[in-house]
Amino acid sequence: MTDALPATMRAIGIAEPGGPDVLRVEERPVPRPGPGEVLVRVVAAGVNRPDVAQRQGHYPPPPGAPDIPGLEIAGEIVALGTHVKRWRIGDQVCALVPGGGYAEFATVHETNALPVPHGLTLMEAAALPETYFTVWSNVFERGRLSAGETLLVHGGTSGIGTTAIQLAKAFGARVVATAGSDEKCEACRALGADVAVNYHTRDFVAETKAATGRGADVILDVVGGSYIARNYEAAAVDGRIVQIAFLEGSTATVDFRRLMLKRLTHTGATLRNRPVEEKAALAAALEERVWPLLAEGRCKPRIHATFPLQKAAEAHALMESSAHVGKIVLLT
């Protein structure tokens, strides 16, 4: 079947570390699936902050991953590697990939692919893997968020934030979200947030304590920097703080007595460089626990904008402007 595939494809390369204009359309060989892998004809690919970091030279792909950016895709399987058990040619899937998503074809291990949830388009499905894997892993597995608890999520209108709000509410939690404008706060509330705090005009620590009487049980933080100490203040006793990015910086001066006095847990994780087997376990958990919610319409990816593949630079410029609410998607 691979003999019928084209030899080359369009893909987005990074000419050199820099701004959005370093993204270039290139001709690349169509990859061939290895053992346990499938080849997907990509219809849509999500755009994420790690893609921006890679373009800037701050987040190189892990060993063995393509240098093409893009961590999530949706499309149709067109070729199978040896020992593939679940999928067949023609199946439509969305998948978490370690790189290579900004292209017309991409390979992925079959265990890191998921069926497109009932009722969703391929464009919508492409907006799922990176954020849903990240939120499930960090909020529900590492953070152990339970029904009746409060989640404080920073950057509530980002792809991660819009996903975290919806999933936390679907599992019975209360949500406090931060955002950078009153309009974005309203968008957070429309997604289900109980409280939304404009961090330019209000103090999220005071607002979280006022809303809960005790602080947040779980805090999902993408900011770092000065937010680290403030998160310790906003957390409830026995609170769990999960760090997944450092938009403000990865160093801070912190009074760690709060960590002891409140019995806090401050943890963190990355997703891209984790082994295929760990991602497979996350995929299985999502298919069992979360994919039914998507099929029922209780959660839905919020798509802010789509761009054709050749306009990846414009998609990155929008991402860096932080003007978006939800996800940005490239269409091949």
Domains of the chain, CATH where assigned:
2-128+272-331 (3.90.180.10), 132-268 (3.40.50.720)
Is residue 85 helix, strand or coil? coil
Mean pLDDT computed over 159-179: 98
pLDDT value, residue 3: 59
Is residue 225 helix, strand or coil? coil
pLDDT band at 4 (very low <50, low <70, confident <90, very high): confident
* Residues recorded for the chain: 332
At 193-223, the pLDDT tens digits run: 999 999 999 999 999 999 999 999 999 999 9
Summarize the chain as % helix, strand, coil (round to 5).
35, 30, 40
Average pLDDT taken over every residue of the chain = 97
Mean pLDDT computed over 63-72: 96
At 5-29, the pLDDT tens digits run: 999 999 999 999 999 999 999 999 9
Helix axes 159-170, 182-191, angle to 10 degrees: 40
For the cut 80, the answer to whether the pLDDT of residue 122 exceeds it is yes
Judging by DSSP bridges, how do beta strands 265-268 and 303-308 pair with one another?
Answer: unpaired
Residues 6 or more apart whose CB falls under 8 angstroms from that of 260 comprise none
pLDDT value, residue 139: 98
Alpha carbons 162 and 157: distance in angstroms, whole number: 5
Judging by DSSP bridges, how do beta strands 174-179 and 150-153 pair with one another?
Answer: parallel
Q: What are the DSSP calls for 155-213, one per residue?
A: STTSHHHHHHHHHHHHTT-EEEEEESSHHHHHHHHHHT-SEEEETTTS-HHHHHHHHHS
Alpha carbons 179 and 164: distance in angstroms, whole number: 13
C-alpha to C-alpha distances, 16 to 22, 67, 308, nearest whole angstrom: 6, 12, 22
pLDDT value, residue 19: 98
Q: What is the pTM of this model?
A: 0.95
pLDDT value, residue 2: 53
pLDDT value, residue 64: 92
At 230-273, the pLDDT tens digits run: 999 999 999 999 999 999 999 999 999 999 999 999 999 999 99
Percent of the chain with pLDDT over 90: 99
